[in-house]
Amino acid sequence: MNRDIYQGAFEKYMHPDYYQLDNNLFLAQFTVMKTLPANNIVACGINENKINKDTHIVDSSSGTFALGLAMTCHHHGLPVTIVGDPAMDEVLIQRLEDLYANIIITDAKNGSGNHQLERLKIVQNVLKDSSNTFWCRQYDNPNNMGAYRGFADQLLSLFGDDLILVGTVGSGGSTSGTITYLREKNPNIRMVVVDTFGSVLFGLPESKRELRGLGNSLQPKNLKHELYDDIHWVAAEPAYAATRELHRQHAVYSGITTGAAYLVAKAIAAEAKPNKKVVFIGPDDGVRYANTVYSDEWLASQGYKELHAPRDFASIHSLTAASEIQRPWVQMNWGRKTLADFSGAMK
C-alpha cells in the first residue's frame, strides 16, 4: 500500500506533519497525537489477550486522549466509556458521540478545584459494573511511552541527533517515551518540557489550572523526571498569545498545548547555535479552540482584551522561590534529576 494511503483517519492522526518555521526551529504537528498511545495500548491489550471483541474499554480524559481512544475503539469495534469533566467542550463531545463513545461528565472537584482525581473514582465504579472491562491507565501504562519509538526514529531520520526536543507534559508518555528512544542514538540530546502553574508534576503546589491540556493533579508513572533537562512553567495568557501568533505568522492552526511549546521552543532556538535544530511537538490542531482561544470575543470574556506573550522568562534555581514562581513564564534547570532530589520542593 502507498504510504500516503491510510486505513482510516485514526491512522493518519498517528503521523505528524513537519514544518520549518525558522532556520533552526521545526514543528512536528500532529492532528490528534494521543491516537498514538491509545492505539498502542489497545493493540497490546488485544495481543496479550486482555481485550476481546466484547471488552468494554474505559479511561479518564477531557482532552485529546479521549478522541484518540474513541477513534481507536471505533476502528477495532470495541465499546468505550470515557469519563471527563466540564473542560470537555461541545465540539469534542459531539465528535466522541459520533464515534459511539459513552461519555460521563462529572462536575466533582477536589479541594484544589481540579476534577482529575474525582474522574478516576468514577472510572473505578465503571470497572466494577462488568468483569470484561479494560482500563487503559494512560498515566501509568508503559505502552503509552512505548508508542513513541516510531516517532523518535522519524525525528532522527529527518533531523539527525544534534537536536533539542521541546514538548508539553501531562501523562509524561510522549516526552519520556520519545526522549528515551532518541537517547539510544545520542545520550546528549536535550529534552525541555513545558508544564503549567497549579500542576504538581515538578513540585509546585496544586491549584486550579486555567491552562488545560498539560499539567496534572497526580504523578503519572510514565513521567520520568530523570530524563528532563529543563522545565518551563507557562501560564494561560502567554500560551494563548503564542497559539494565535503561530497562526498569524505561520498559518499553523494548532491547539494551545502546541502554542505553549512554540513559546518555549522559539526562545530556545533564538539562543541556540545555528546548526542546533530545535524541534517542538504539536499534540493537536486548533479545531476544538475555534470558539475559545481563536475567538476575540471569548478572550475578552475571560479578561484578555489584548493578549501579551512575554519575550523572555524568569529563571529560578529552587522550587522554594515562590515569588518568582508566580510569574507568567518561569524556567528551571532540572538537570535530569528525580523529584526526590529537590528536597526543598514546595508542598
- State pLDDT tens for residues 178-232: 999 999 999 999 999 999 999 999 999 888 888 988 998 889 999 999 999 999 9
Examine the pLDDT at 8 and tell me if it is beyond 80: no
Written in H, E and C, the secondary structure of the chain is CCCCCCCCHHHHCCCCEEEEEECCEEEEECCECCHHHHHHHHHHHHHCCCCCCCCEEEEECCCHHHHHHHHHHHHHCCCEEEEECCCCCHHHHHHHHHCCCEEEECCCCCCCCCCHHHHHHHHHHHHHCCCCEEECCCCCCHHHHHHHHHHHHHHHHHHCCCEEEEEECCCCHHHHHHHHHHHHHCCCCEEEEEECCCCCCCCCCCCCCCCCCCCCCCCCCCCCHHHCCEEEEECHHHHHHHHHHHHHHHCCCECHHHHHHHHHHHHHHHHCCCCCEEEEEECEECHHHCCCCCCHHHHHHCCCCCCCCCCCCEEECCCCCHHHHCCCEEEEECCCCCHHHCCCCCC
Q: Considering only 103-107, 228-232, 290-294, which range has the smallest mean pLDDT?
A: 103-107
Examine the pLDDT at 311 and tell me if it is beyond 60: yes
Question: What is the model's pLDDT at position 327?
Answer: 82
Question: What is the model's pLDDT at position 315?
Answer: 92
Q: Give the percent of the chain with pLDDT over 70.
A: 95
Q: Does domain 9-31+142-346 have CATH number 3.40.50.1100?
A: yes
| C-alpha 41 chain-centroid distance | 16
Higher pLDDT, 1 or 169: 169
> How confident is the model over 7-16, as a mean pLDDT?
86
Examine the pLDDT at 1 and tell me if it is beyond 50: no
Distances (CA, A) of 58 to 38, 69, 167: 11, 9, 26
The residue type of 41 is I
Question: What is the model's pLDDT at position 193?
Answer: 98
pLDDT band of residue 113 (cuts 50, 70, 90) is: low
Report the distance separating Cα 219 and Cα 171, nearest Å: 8
Q: What is the CB neighbour count within 10 angstroms for residue 110?
A: 12
Question: What is the model's pLDDT at position 57?
Answer: 95
Report the distance separating Cα 228 and Cα 222, nearest Å: 13
Residue 263 neighbours by CB under 8 Å, 6+ apart:
194, 234, 238, 239, 241, 242, 309, 329
Beta bridge partners of 17: 29
Examine the pLDDT at 64 and tell me if it is beyond 80: yes
Strands 133-135 and 230-234: unpaired
Examine the pLDDT at 141 and tell me if it is beyond 70: yes
Residue 336, C-alpha cell as written in the block: 535530569
Higher pLDDT, 107 or 184: 184
Higher pLDDT, 259 or 114: 259
Residue 313, C-alpha cell as written in the block: 522568562
Report the distance separating Cα 98 and Cα 60, nearest Å: 18
Examine the pLDDT at 274 and tell me if it is beyond 70: yes
Question: What is the model's pLDDT at position 157?
Answer: 97
Architecture of domain 34-135: 3-Layer(aba) Sandwich (3.40)
Question: What is the model's pLDDT at position 2?
Answer: 47
Examine the pLDDT at 102 and tell me if it is beyond 80: yes
Question: What is the model's pLDDT at position 86?
Answer: 84
Residue identified by cell 483517519 is: 9
Higher pLDDT, 51 or 91: 51
- CATH 3.40.50.1100 boundaries in the chain: 9-31+142-346, 34-135
What are the tens digits of pLDDT across the range 255-272? 999 999 999 999 999 999
